[in-house]
A and B are shown apart, each in its own frame.
Chain A
């Protein structure tokens, strides 16, 4: 589904990603872990096409297409979803209008008719239940005045609405208490099928108790320096990142 080869990216003159390699197949859950500043969020931003970053090398294929040549909106239409670490508040844009525009743009891209108002509202209602998102929140402006937990639930709600092939969850656990974490992770698990895939970016092992990864990667200084199974996450939790630095001869 996703092949990342030797991906390099800068912000300004500073190189953040220094040759990332990653392959994700349908049905898989990959966790990317790593210390602060290792480039985890940059990787997710670059894959989603955030214009703040400049790709300086490498290639990314997503479902057979050259991902890097697509606009952020077309990456979304192709089935890539990013759950933001810090979801943006957009006063004056209502959740309903925002989601209707998003869903219908996706349908347009696929050559489908826009949803009727009734169908749209029914789907909104169904998907809201997955993450127990209050109807009041759905009628407000995008993320405006939402608590940290509500913002993250709103991200997963949008994921449910757009039904992506590949979801990248960027530090979805940050700022969540244990109950909210359970709801959010539960939502992700409900959306899981053998056809879609998830990349979970996290600092802590905690989230992986709820969303079980098939593969765990350690991103350090802009490269994936170690990959393994779920046991790698537990080892990191126990020993921290220092032993990896030692292994690398630092």
Chain B
């Protein structure tokens, strides 16, 4: 309750300052979002979908928020984040301000003001239309506080030739909260590859909230990767909402290498015939890290296919949780939906929660789900050791093997190779600084 009160008070006192720092499109949405937030507030741990993570505690600290939009620009010399062998166009989001640079041929990368000025109708049509502000207080609060957004617009038939790498950076010596928005509008027959890297250099506790909306037009091809590489004092609450029109293909792949406490929601609606979704995630958690994932895949059209695979490797006192809902509407015949959650626990004190929720209202569908929780295969371990591979190395091989089918689903080859190395370094508890990166400590 206390957490909610503090934000209600903040909104009441500073609404004019918030509005002043944002464009009209966002302010219109803000009005509705505030109403929703006043009604729902921050979800408590008593609520069914938030049992395994204490969201109220995450929102409780007295964070500073840059409502006055004090410039936090930075230069590429200080922050570099690169994947060897992968040429990307990099966009830095410092705090919650996108540092818009140049676009690329056929694709526009804008902040919300630019989007509203250039395409007022599109801004109206797409901003905050997928995001469910009416049911989730955290999404409502993000919408109520967000003052800028990164907008990626890929018009009909356009191809993003160079993958876009969005680097989210937080660097604060005092407790701070940032509220980010990302809007991706992909037209008919378009294609795009977007990689988001989440970094945090802050010395204090921080809360990063994000709402991402992805509209995937007919026959579009979207790959969206998220790499989380933050710190033990990083809190993150992020919700992604996506809609896929007919024959749209989408890969959504969040990989969490290091974090503090994270709650991520992936809400995807397959609304056009023949749409295909590949939702794949991996989290490696140790110490007291928490990674809580909620997926909600809604088949509202026929002949669509969704494939979910989430894997976790947990040790120490870490907690991971996956709740996966699949909803198949009455008319969504010939749906194929597969959901799988596999976990390896390396310690007695780690906790793993897994909960599939299938609601199927159509006949003639193929839907499956499965979950496993276990340790490394002892017979495989002995087999490797018998061939002379030392126990620690054999364990490492088996853990990497466990992560391998997640990597196989990452189509962007240089990223896949890079992640393989990062995952191995992470499991070896070595430095997991990305190559060429001067920002991670």
Which residues of A are in contact with B by a Cβ distance under 8 Å?
48-52, 71-73, 75-77, 81-82, 84, 87-93, 97-98, 101-102, 105-106, 109, 141-142, 158, 162
Contacts and interface: CB of A to CB of B under 8 A. Distances in A.
Given A101-B389, A106-B388, A109-B388, A84 B404 contact: no
A91 B389 contact: no
A76 B402 contact: no
A105 B403 CA distance: 23
A76 B387 contact: yes
B401 A93 contact: yes
Given A101-B393, A102-B388, A102-B389, A90 B398 contact: yes
Interface string B121-163: 0000000000000000000000000000000000000000000
A91 B384 CA distance: 13
B397 A101 contact: yes
Contacts of B388: 73, 76-77, 102, 105-106, 109, 162
A158 B398 contact: no
B380 interface: yes
B382 interface: yes
B76 interface: no
23 contacts: A48-B382, A49-B386, A50-B382, A52-B382, A71-B385, A72-B385, A73-B386, A73-B390, A73-B391, A73-B394, A77-B388, A88-B380, A89-B380, A92-B402, A93-B384, A93-B401, A97-B397, A98-B389, A102-B389, A105-B389, A106-B388, A141-B401, A162-B387
B387 A51 contact: no
B348 interface: no
B400 interface: yes
B387 A98 contact: yes
Contacts of B393: 101, 105
Contacts of A72: 382, 385-386
A93 B386 CA distance: 15
B383 A90 contact: yes
Contacts of A97: 397
Interface in B56-95: none
B359 interface: no
A91 B401 contact: yes
A158 B389 CA distance: 13
List 3 tightest A-B contacts by C-beta distance, closest first.
Answer: A92-B401, A92-B404, A76-B388
Nearest to A50: B382
A101 B378 CA distance: 19
Q: Name which of A49, A72, A106, A142 has the most chain B CB atoms within 10 A of its CB.
A: A72
Nearest to A86: B379
Nearest to B399: A92
B400 A92 contact: yes
A84 B383 contact: yes
A84 to B, nearest CB: 7
B402 A98 contact: no
A82 B398 contact: no
Contacts of A73: 385-386, 388-391, 394
B377 interface: yes
A86 to B, nearest CB: 8
Interface string B383-423: 11111111101100110111111000000000000000000
A89 to B, nearest CB: 8
Nearest to B387: A102
Contacts of A84: 383, 386
A101 B393 CA distance: 9
Contact of A76 (B377, B385, B403, B405): B385
Contacts of B405: 91-92
B374 to A, nearest CB: 14
